[in-house]
Amino acid sequence: EITPIRVEGTGAGGPAFFLLLFRDRTVERRLERMRSDFVANASHELRTPLASLIGFIETLQGPARGDEAARERFLGIMREQARRMSRLIDDLLSLSRIEMKRHVAPSARIDLRDVFEDVRGEMELMAEENGLEIRFERPEEPFIVLGEEDELIQVFNNLVENACKYAGGGGRIDLELSAVTEGGRRFVDAGVRDHGAGIAPEHVPRLTERFYRVDVASSRSKRGTGLGLSIVRNLLLHHRARLIITSELGRGSVFRARFPIADTADEVKSSQQ
């Protein structure tokens, strides 16, 4: 969508002129729509548990008053709904915090081998509870990126958590580091591989959209908010990194973060100054 903008003026003592500029508003419009979709989705996601809470409160004050067994059961459901709202709000705040930081690239030199060791330690219990083992073979050489340690741990914790929740079996989760060259430039890939159910190809490109879930009921029952991968994507953008998802139904998925390696990132930074 192209809109013309007319600029008029007079040169100093010279003839009058006007300039016709064109502005393409397609991108702006799309961003506006995305923002309003997001607000609508977020409101809907919050309203659902809230409506259920109100319903239960009214039932407890009315028809179920004095019914001890119903009271216990309803309070249990109400607690779960309130927790759900709390998780959603945490995730929404997390997203907006990251978006605010987006333009300031992190600058600490972080060895991804250490990040993976931390993630394995933090997620071991959850994996075990799901019958999975987290494997990481620490390479000899360091894998350095410019980053923020907490954010990187959050990215990979989240990916390992998804592998535990959705991959369903497969025995193990592999944490993999490798150096790759793309378009003549060098990158570091840090991947989380599961050997579980996999994801149908039509869903893959949409996974990082806010609130997108392959199976809403399963995500809800597993305490998902539909914001996890969108947070991961934004944290990675903050690191000038990309999320690459490959998956095969019945064989499993790999969620890879592709980082510019630290000296390339340094070059990018100094060329922008």
Residues forming contacts to ligand ADP in the complex (CB under 6 A) are 162-163, 166-167, 194, 196-197, 199, 207, 213-215, 219, 224-230, 253
Nearer to ligand ADP, 224 or 260 (CB): 224
Nearer to ligand ADP, 146 or 192 (CB): 192
Given the structure tokens 């991961």, which residue do they identify?
232
Nearer to ligand ADP, 157 or 225 (CB): 225
Given the structure tokens 């109400």, which residue do they identify?
78
SS3 145: strand
Edge to edge, what strands does the sheet with 172-182 contain? Answer: 133-136, 172-182, 185-194, 252-260, 242-248
CB of 184 to ligand ADP, least distance (A): 32
CB of 226 to ligand ADP, least distance (A): 5
Quick check: 194 and 250 in contact, CB under 8 A? no
Nearer to ligand ADP, 58 or 128 (CB): 128
SS3 190: strand
Pair type for strands 2-10 and 16-24: antiparallel
CB of 254 to ligand ADP, least distance (A): 9
Considering only CA atoms, which of 124, 125, 119, 230 is closest in space to residue 177?
119
Nearer to ligand ADP, 246 or 264 (CB): 246
